[in-house]
Structure 1
Amino acid sequence: MSAERQLTVLSREWCHLCHDLIEALKPLQAEFGFGLQVVDVDADEALEARWNELVPVLLEGEVEICHHFLDEGAVRAHFQRIG
């Protein structure tokens, strides 16, 4: 898997679920070699309006992989689908 592949976590500074999801992603990041961008939804009104109650959300581009908690199976299935 190329380091060019970038996943995004929509997060909040004060959100323990967000911190947990980011931490839980580390082994998968090492395995699949993707970059990780963390975006604070509270800093962007449009993101907050769209994703507010689902945060944390794991995305690749506009594709939602999972939300609230890391779904390792969904991440693996995502990478299998995209090759």
Structure 2
Amino acid sequence: MAEESKHREPQVTLLTRQGCHLCEAARQTVHRVTSELGLGFHEVDVDEHPDLKARHDTEIPVVMVNGEPKDFWQINPKRLHKILAKELGL
């Protein structure tokens, strides 16, 4: 079995909300990093999901990888790249 086949594509989710001044910068950062690695991401408005809002209301935006929060407020592109590269086995 090839080494890369042991790793599955990480699921990247960006939690945002309307009117969030940090969300646009986070969106651009997550898009840039995921694009560099050939990945996509999903964006979720926490105000439409009570469970997510209850957990992350004061931390928006939040980037999650495989359902786990990895960074919030100002998303660090180097850290996100490192996390995703590790998930990909790079």
Whether 1:30 and 2:44 are equivalent positions in the alignment is no
1:1-83 maps to which residues of 2 (within 5 A)?
4-82=9-87, 83=89
Q: Which has the higher strand share?
A: 1
Q: Given that residues 31 and 41 in structure 2 are in contact (C-alpha distance below 8 angstroms), is that contact kept between their aligned partners in structure 1?
A: no
CA distance in 2, matches of 1:49, 1:8: 17
Q: Given that residues 17 and 23 in structure 2 are in contact (C-alpha distance below 8 angstroms), is that contact kept between their aligned partners in structure 1?
A: yes
Residue-by-residue CA offset, 1:5-24 (whole Å, 9 max, x unaligned): 33100100111201110012
Deviation of residue 28 (structure 1)? 1.2
SS in 2 for 1:16: coil
Deviation of residue 43 (structure 1)? 0.7
Q: Normalising by structure 1, what TM-score?
A: 0.84
Q: Specify every segment of 5 or more residues in structure 2 that has no aligned partner in the other structure, as ranges.
A: none
User: How many residue pairs get matched?
Assistant: 82
- Percentage of matched positions with identical amino acids: 27
Residue-by-residue CA offset, 1:20-66 (whole Å, 9 max, x unaligned): 10012222122111111110001111111001111100001222221
Q: Which has the higher helix share?
A: 1
Structure number with the bigger relative contact order (C-alpha 8 A, sep ≥ 6) is: 2
Over the aligned positions, Cα root-mean-square deviation in angstroms equals: 1.9
When Rg is computed on C-alpha atoms for both structures, the one with the higher figure is: 2
CA distance in 1, matches of 2:40, 2:11: 5
